[in-house]
């Protein structure tokens, strides 16, 4: 279990008889000041920590971990696609549905029809669900608006979810699908999406830029143009890469020093090498793999062999991954991708923060954001073991208790 080093702050005194090898176990006490962790370590050394918290930790039968970071979600959207779920169970493929005007475009129609307040109202329950299962930072993409006003509306709603006390990082994903008004004119649409970007960035609505590089999405050349526009504004990039086929998406993200390449089921070993070279994180999305009944596994051994950090995220979206628990995504990553529970937890904390270009969270250390979760578990592997259930006793973000 020494591989857990650096991940688990420690256990309450009640569980100090935890499995041998948890060399870094402390008595789980911690303190914060102004939203950052001011002290971690034995309770006896606590300077001015809130005694209430110290008592809660020490007397709880639980473990503390860093707050979970969900580094890939589409959680702002209107409507749902339950009917499509039925059609896929009757044999329709995801691509068939997309090509016949359903899929992403049906969510685009619903999202365009909802005003900002309604979009926020429909998105709040999904954000609350992620938080109640341990998420304290959530990445949220646009990509169901596909015109300036509606992409802006989505990004504004994403920013407003910070009202829940969590960290929010926004990603501009106008290059998610071709809207009907640009049917057959993908290059013209990319021109328009590039034109909207600086205006949205000027309003403080964009933290990163993404694209769906796929046969049913955009070409590598169109993706490259989107990325060049991001680079011109100093914005980092990430990519929906090699999800259904190998278009060299992993290498394309790496060529722009991308924060991450996501999905990566069909990513080649050459792309893995390029990702390792660039420090690009591989974001595994086992929810979409599971729901689409995908069979191609991401090149996990290549990621491990080349030292590409692996993150795990929900990809919370109405089509391929209507998943509202990052802990459940961790379970799926272990079951489908054979990640160890330690790799899955690292993938939802340290590596997920890295996939967002953040270094002040995903780990418990002095000076980091005071984001942490107190779990009702006796062993950290339980986070990946239990399907469902409510394991989080309390969730703390930026020095405030959010659940
Ligand atoms: O089906 C949806 O609504 C989004 C699907 C999601 N977007 C993407 O580029 N790949 C996905 O799995
Ligand atoms: Fe996605």
Interface predicted TM-score (ipTM): 0.97
Q: Which residue has the higher pLDDT, 28 or 290?
A: 290
pLDDT at 48 over 60: no
Cα of 58 vs centre of ligand 2, distance in Å, is 39
Ligand whose nearest atom lies closest to the CA of 171? 2
Instruction: Please give the structure tokens belonging to residue 26.
Output: 């402390």
- Residues of the chain with pLDDT > 90, as a percent, come to 70
Q: Which atom of ligand 1 is nearest to the CA of 288?
A: 12
Structure confidence at residue 36 (pLDDT): 76
Task: Tell me what pLDDT residue 93 has.
Answer: 86
Q: Which two tokens stand for residue 172?
A: 């501009």
CA of 218 to the centre of ligand 2 (A): 14
Provide mean pLDDT across the span 281-306.
Answer: 97
For residue 8, give both structure tokens: 């688990």
Q: What backbone torsions phi and psi does residue 51 show, to the nearest 5 degrees? A: -60, -30
- How many whole angstroms separate alpha carbon 143 and alpha carbon 76? 9
Q: What's the pLDDT at 102?
A: 85
Q: What pLDDT is stored for residue 398 in this prediction?
A: 83
The residue-averaged pLDDT of 316-339 equals 97
Residues, CB-to-ion distance under 5 Å, ligand 2: 315
Beta carbons of 392 and 375 less than 8 angstroms apart:
yes
Name the least confident of 36-50, 96-110, 112-126. 36-50
User: How many angstroms separate the alpha carbon of residue 242 from the centre of ligand 1?
Assistant: 13
Q: What is the pLDDT of residue 57?
A: 56
Residue 17 has pLDDT above 50, yes or no: no
Contacts 24+ apart (CB under 8 A), 27-34: 27/58, 28/57, 28/58, 28/63, 28/64, 29/54, 29/57, 29/58, 30/54, 30/57, 30/64, 30/364, 30/370, 30/372, 32/370, 32/399, 33/399, 34/399
Calculate the average pLDDT of the chain. 88
The strand order across the sheet containing 372-375 reads: 10-11, 63-66, 372-375, 392-397, 400-401
pLDDT band (50, 70, 90) for residue 1: very low
Pocket test for ligand 1, best of 72, 105, 173, 315 (most atoms within 8 A of CB): 315
CA 36 to centroid of ligand 1, rounded, Å: 35
Helix (H, G, I), strand (E, B) or coil at 347: helix
Residue 34 is predicted with a pLDDT of 74
What's the average model confidence in pLDDT over 342-365? 92
- Is it the case that residue 54 has pLDDT exceeding 70? no
Question: What is the CB < 6 Å shell around ligand 1?
Answer: 74, 103-104, 107, 176, 212, 217, 240, 243, 288, 315, 317-320
Given this model, what pLDDT does residue 13 score?
Answer: 34
At residue 267, does pLDDT exceed 50? yes
Report pLDDT for 12: 41
Rounded to the nearest whole angstrom, what is the distance from the C-alpha of residue 398 to the centroid of ligand 1?
31
| pLDDT band for position 181 (cuts 50, 70, 90) | very high
Tens digits of per-residue pLDDT, 212-249?
A: 999 989 999 999 999 999 999 999 999 999 999 999 99
Sheet arrangement for strand 310-312: 68-70, 135-141, 167-175, 208-213, 238-241, 260-263, 281-284, 310-312
**How would residue 60 be classed by pLDDT, with cut points 50, 70 and 90?**
low
pLDDT value at 190 more than 50 = yes
Mutation to probe ligand 1, out of 316, 319, 323, 329 (largest number of atoms < 8 A from CB): 319
pLDDT of amino acid 27: 43
């Amino acid at each position: 279990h020494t591989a857990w080093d650096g991940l688990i702050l420690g256990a309450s005194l009640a569980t100090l008889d935890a499995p041998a090898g948890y060399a870094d176990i402390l008595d789980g006490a911690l303190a914060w000041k102004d939203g950052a962790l001011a002290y971690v370590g034995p309770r006896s050394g606590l300077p001015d920590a809130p005694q209430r918290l110290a008592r809660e930790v020490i007397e709880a039968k639980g473990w503390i971990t860093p707050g979970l970071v969900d580094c890939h979600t589409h959680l702002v959207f209107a409507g749902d696609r339950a009917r499509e779920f039925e059609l896929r169970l009757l044999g329709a493929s995801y691509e068939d549905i997309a090509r016949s005007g359903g899929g992403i475009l049906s969510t685009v129609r619903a999202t365009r029809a909802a005003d900002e307040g309604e979009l926020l109202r429909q998105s709040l329950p999904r954000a609350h669900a992620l938080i109640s299962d341990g998420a304290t930072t959530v990445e949220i993409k646009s990509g169901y608006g596909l015109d300036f006003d509606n992409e802006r509306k989505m990004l504004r709603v994403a920013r407003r979810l910070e009202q829940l006390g969590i960290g929010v990082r926004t990603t501009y994903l106008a290059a998610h699908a071709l809207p009907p008004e640009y049917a057959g004119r993908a290059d013209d649409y990319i021109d328009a999406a590039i034109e909207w970007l600086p205006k949205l960035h000027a309003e403080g609505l964009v933290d990163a830029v993404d694209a769906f590089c796929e046969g049913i999405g955009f070409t590598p050349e169109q993706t490259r143009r989107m990325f060049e526009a991001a680079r011109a504004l100093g914005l980092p990039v990430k990519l929906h890469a090699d999800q259904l086929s190998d278009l060299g998406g992993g290498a394309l993200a790496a060529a722009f020093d991308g924060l991450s390449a996501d999905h990566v089921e069909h990513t080649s070993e050459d792309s893995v090498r390029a990702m390792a070279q660039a420090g690009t994180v591989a974001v595994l999305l086992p929810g979409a793999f599971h729901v689409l009944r995908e069979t191609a596994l991401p090149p996990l051994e290549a990621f491990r062999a080349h030292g590409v950090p692996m993150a795990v995220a929900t990809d919370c979206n109405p089509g391929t991954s209507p998943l509202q628990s990052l802990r459940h995504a961790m379970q799926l990553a272990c079951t489908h991708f054979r990640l160890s529970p330690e790799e899955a937890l690292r993938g939802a904390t340290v590596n997920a923060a890295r996939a967002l270009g953040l270094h002040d969270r995903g780990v418990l250390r002095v000076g980091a954001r005071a984001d942490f979760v107190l779990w009702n578990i006796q062993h950290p592997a339980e986070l990946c073991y239990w399907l469902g259930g409510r394991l989080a006793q309390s969730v703390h973000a930026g020095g405030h208790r959010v659940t």
